[in-house]
Every structure is written in C-alpha cells, then in structure tokens.
Amino acid sequence: MTTESNNTFVIYPNSTSTIINIALLDETKAPAKKASITGKLYDLNNIEKRAIVIKDNKAQIDSSGLNRGVYVLKIDIDGKVESHQIIVK
C-alpha cells in the first residue's frame, strides 16, 4: 500500500490478483467536487493496460487477466499526477 504524505489516494490490497481498490486517503485532501480524476494502469514498458474515471473519490480496477508483475497506477487530478506501484500476482 502506498501512503506517501503527498498522495491523495490510497491503493489496496497490494499485492492483488483480482481487484485494485482506490480510495481517498484523507478527507481533508479531497479534490474539488468538479475535479476531473482519472486513473491509468501501465505495465513497466509504459503500455496502458486499464483506464478508469474516479467518481466520488473511490474506484476499482479489475486486475484479473493481467500478467503477474509490477504495474504503475497513475492518478491524474486536474493535471496533478500521483503514481502508485501495484503488484499483480
């Protein structure tokens, strides 16, 4: 799980084989209600594997069908990007 102080979202469980949950880390860091929030999951070759829109400060990504390995989840909040390392088993 990534919990760096500058991150807005927490990702769990990490590692996973089915579902990746994305949730707001701290209510005081909540993005503006009209903020555009998207998430993209990339493999280590920087190939996009999944893309989602995050609504109500939470979302899930289905990781079933992905090859085992390390992925990078990039969450874009109105142009500010935070990255999380995800392990798919």
Domain of 52, CATH number, reads: 2.60.40.10
Q: State the pLDDT at residue 69.
A: 98
Domain-located, residue 71: yes
Q: Is 28 helix (H, G, I), strand (E, B) or coil?
A: helix
Residue 5 has pLDDT above 70, yes or no: no
Per-residue pLDDT at 83 exceeds 80: yes
Tokens 């280590």 found at: 44
Indicate the pTM of the whole model: 0.88
Upper half-sphere CA count for residue 19 (Cβ side, 13 Å): 6
Domain that residue 55 falls in: 9-88
- pLDDT 10s digits, 23-54: 998 877 778 777 899 999 999 999 999 999 99
Determine the pLDDT at residue 84: 97
What are the beta bridge partners of residue 52?
Answer: 39
What mean pLDDT value characterizes the chain? 91
Query: Which of 13, 5, 10 lies closest to 25, judged by CA?
Result: 10
Let me know if residue 2 belongs to a domain: no
52 lies in some domain: yes
Number of domains in the chain: 1
Q: Would you say the C-alpha torsion 81, 43, 72, 41 has a positive or negative sign?
A: positive
Instruction: Tell me: cis bond preceding 13? Omega within 30 of 0 counts.
Output: yes
- Closest-CA residue to 38 (of 85, 2, 69, 80): 80
Confidence of residue 76 (pLDDT cuts 50, 70, 90): very high
In a domain, 1, yes or no: no
